[in-house]
Amino acid sequence: MKSVVAPNYTVTPRPLFARKSRRGFTLAELLIAVMLLSLVMTAVYSMTHTALNAWRSVENGYDIYAEARNVMTLFSHEYNNIVARAAHLFEGDNKKIVMFVIAQPLDLEQGEGPRLLRVEYAYNRSKRSIEREEALVEAALPMPNPDGEPVEAGRIKLSRKYKTTVANNVKQFRLRYVWAPLPEEALPNEPPIPEPLIIIDRHLQRYGLPQAVEITFELFDPENEGQTYSMSATLPIRATSYRRSQQALEEMFNADA
């Protein structure tokens, strides 16, 4: 009779985590998962809330800045295109300025392309706004009066007046006119000593063009008047402007005092 030998084999025990996986999560594991999920959701909510508040704040501030920048861009663009031959028609005070420029009309019905315009910027105190009025010049500009008197408005042929508001919620607005007097003495081998600037609040037609104009304004947020944005710039005249001595300027200004 032959004997039968059983084959050798080894029984490998199943890993502990595999046996547990069939039973699902324990209560402790569920509690830990819920706590971690709560922490993550709280962090996400806090970050979203903070980002939205910051976005609203930036947006409100940007609106004020954008409107101020648009006013300054429009004004400086037209100001830099003042017509030199209309220097005797340039006038203004601390709340209004009148200038003749070559620029594209804002009235789209006048077509495209630059035109000779009479442009006026003025501060409306009751509406707290900056208003702009343009008019198309249809004929040659009148010559200055020999006696220095202002040119009558009827001698300037204008048409198609167009008025618009370029900025609302304006808290302050101011214009000033800057003159740089000629040095009294200049030595041959030394640079001239600059004279102090003369800044005035009123500019008459017979003065001609100043060397620069200073514009300052302040806008406020209509939902929070305490939140303001100020902008100021001193813009030099690009057109030809004649400088005078300090004595000549004082005599010219004192004649109208």
Provide the whole-model pTM.
0.73
Per-domain residue ranges of the chain: 56-254
Mean pLDDT, all residues of the chain: 84
The secondary element (H helix, E strand) that includes residue 234 is strand 224-236
Dist. CA 235–CA 111, nearest whole Å: 29
Answer whether residue 53 shows pLDDT above 60.
no
Dist. CA 204–CA 39, nearest whole Å: 71
Contacts of the segment 196-204: beta carbons below 8 A, 24+ positions apart = 198/246, 198/249, 198/250, 198/253, 200/176, 200/253, 201/93, 201/94, 201/175, 201/176, 201/177, 202/92, 202/93, 202/94, 202/177, 203/90, 203/91, 203/92, 203/93, 203/97, 203/177, 204/91, 204/150, 204/256
Tens of pLDDT, residue by residue over 186-213, are 677 777 788 899 999 999 999 999 999 9
Band (14; pLDDT cuts 50, 70, 90):
low
